[in-house]
Amino acid sequence: MQRQAWIYTISAAVLGALDLLFRWLQCQSIFDPETGLPTPRAGLSTLVVVLLVLTVVVLWRLSGRLSPELTMPEPEEALRLPNRVVGALMTGAGMLAALGAVVMFFTESSMFMRLTALLGLFSAVVLSFYPSLPKWGGFGAALSLVPVLFFSLWLVSFYRANAVNPIVWAYGVEILGIAACLLGAFRLSGLLFYRTGPRQGLFALGLGLCLGLTELMDRGSAGERLLFFGWALGFGTLSWVIVRNFGIQGPPPAAAPPAGGKKEKGA
């Protein structure tokens, strides 16, 4: 399954890079430098919307092509790291997310956002140890809910801070990014609770990778960008690991002969 793992992960990363490029071009061109207002009927804005929709469709199709050939292993087998390099990537992803949470804590003035940043720091630690969570049984499954809570709180607090902003393009894509990461964290947690199918899990991880990369050139703070980059790296690494560890479905087992067998004619 290593080839399929590379195909899916690289495809999601390429889609994320394209979304990032056109989102950056949009931010550079559609906002008036004096008023900060977006240019009406900008062609790049339409293209960004089309690319985001195309990203969702392609990821859903790719995950659908993989899932009929896969069987869902036990969580410990699905998240088993093949080598130390992959483990180092997960550690690096957690460190980036933790650094982003620390920067967010010291740059945000709202107490609500600071509490969100503290929860993000705890979630970054969980991200680093995610492949080990199945070994910890129910405690590990409970820890997997911490990132879900973090992204839920971040989504609510970010929307509260920007709800009065009439310029949807100034914050709308970041809301989509947070929601995609929330979906990815939710499906990963569902894997530990035996509630996530192959297609739903792969799609959510790929979407989190794509929109996490897209936010790197958005208008968010440095802490938010580091958080998105860390979680995008974690989602991409875990999607590769999970596809690699999935087993190919074999032919159905032959029916066992009846007890005593069947007598031959003439016996």
The C-alpha atoms of residue 122 and residue 247 are separated, in whole angstroms, by 32
pTM of the model: 0.86
The C-alpha atoms of residue 223 and residue 134 are separated, in whole angstroms, by 29
Strand partners, 247: 71
Note the helical H segments in the chain.
Answer: 2-29, 43-66, 75-78, 84-107, 111-128, 137-143, 145-162, 172-192, 198-214, 222-245
The C-alpha atoms of residue 113 and residue 128 are separated, in whole angstroms, by 23
Closest alpha carbon to 213 in 174, 185, 169: 174
**pLDDT per residue as tens, the chain (267 positions):** 678 888 899 999 999 999 999 888 887 777 766 666 666 656 778 888 899 999 999 999 988 887 555 566 688 888 888 888 999 999 999 999 999 999 999 998 888 889 999 999 999 999 999 999 999 989 999 999 999 999 999 999 999 888 887 777 778 889 999 999 999 999 999 989 888 777 888 999 999 999 999 988 877 788 999 999 999 999 999 999 988 887 544 444 455 555 555 444 444
Closest alpha carbon to 128 in 238, 207, 51, 261: 238
- The angle subtended at Cα 219 by Cα 213 and Cα 224, nearest 5°, is 60
The C-alpha atoms of residue 224 and residue 97 are separated, in whole angstroms, by 9
Determine contact, residues 59/12, Cβ cutoff 8 Å.
yes
